[in-house]
């Protein structure tokens, strides 16, 4: 990639994007169109040195790991699930805060040595239950995890919890906190070596507007 090519920053659509756009604006980076209101996936910005991609969270580390994006903004939950090979996790942006938790039907008994666990976080769930000496029979779902205990598909779920309203609305209760989650700035390791100036400048701009130390 030439020195002139813009830095490509991959953002996670949804809550992280909503919280990230004001941060970017404070850092002087405004997309040509509002990404949530456009069908485009690549956006030029007010800074000719930076272009944005808007992706599903689980795809952000994939683009950054392979160098198709130089940097990305993604939830810690996604990094815990996918691993950080080939990536530097440089800043906690302090946005899109939530918790990764276990949950079950309100008042349900503790699981025995084996438990059926429905989740999209299969690696995190397996590790967490293994650390408690429980063998998790993982049922992989891509959404609506809350339904699984209600319909008897699983005794437990592992999911993102913010207010807990979604759980309560479905007769579930939050149980154990596996991790505190917020959005992180990640950078491709090779890109950091090849193009340190624009990438360090990007990290410094994020650090300045979030008050976090790089």
DSSP summary character for residue 70 = S
Of 128 and 191, nearer to ligand AMP (C-beta) is 128
161 forms part of the interface with ligand AMP (CB under 6 A): yes
135 forms part of the interface with ligand AMP (CB under 6 A): no
58 forms part of the interface with ligand AMP (CB under 6 A): no
54 forms part of the interface with ligand AMP (CB under 6 A): no
Of 98 and 203, nearer to ligand AMP (C-beta) is 98
DSSP summary character for residue 6 = P
Which position among 107, 165, 197, 211 is part of the footprint of ligand AMP (CB under 6 A)? 165
DSSP-assigned states of every residue in 105-155: ETTPPPP-SEEEEEES-HHHHHHHHHHTT-EEEEEE-SS-TTHHHHTTS-S
CB-based burial of residue 172 (10 Å sphere; 0-12 exposed, 13-18 middle, 19+ buried)?
buried
Which position among 162, 190, 201, 204 is part of the footprint of ligand AMP (CB under 6 A)? 162
Q: x-or-dash pattern for ligand AMP, window 67-106, by CB under 6 A?
A: --------x--------------------x-x--------
For residue 137 the two structure tokens come to 């029979």
Which position among 80, 164, 179, 200 is part of the footprint of ligand AMP (CB under 6 A)? 164
| Three-class SS state of 168 | helix
φ/ψ (deg, to 5) at 92: -90, 110
Binding positions for ligand AMP, rule: CB under 6 A: 14-15, 75, 96, 98, 159-166
């Amino acid at each position: 990639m030439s020195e002139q090519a813009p830095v490509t920053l991959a953002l996670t659509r949804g809550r992280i994007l909503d919280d990230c756009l004001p941060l970017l604006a404070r850092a002087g980076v405004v997309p040509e169109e509002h990404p949530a209101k456009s069908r485009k996936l690549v956006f030029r910005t007010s800074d000719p040195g930076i272009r944005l991609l808007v992706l599903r969270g689980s795809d952000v580390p994939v683009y950054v790991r392979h160098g198709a994006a130089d940097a990305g903004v993604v939830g810690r939950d996604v990094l815990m699930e996918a691993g950080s090979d080939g990536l530097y996790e440089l800043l906690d942006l302090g946005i899109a805060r939530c918790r990764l938790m276990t949950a079950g039907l309100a008042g349900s008994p503790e699981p025995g040595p084996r438990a059926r666990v429905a989740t999209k976080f299969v690696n995190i769930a397996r590790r967490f239950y293994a650390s408690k000496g429980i063998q998790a029979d993982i049922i992989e779902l891509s959404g609506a995890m809350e339904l699984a205990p209600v319909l008897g598909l699983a005794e437990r779920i592992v999911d993102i919890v913010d207010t807990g309203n979604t759980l309560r609305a479905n007769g579930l209760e939050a149980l154990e906190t596996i991790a505190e989650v917020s959005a992180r700035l990640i950078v491709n390791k090779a890109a950091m070596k090849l193009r340190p100036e624009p990438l360090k400048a990007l990290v410094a701009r994020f650090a300045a507007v979030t008050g976090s130390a790089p």
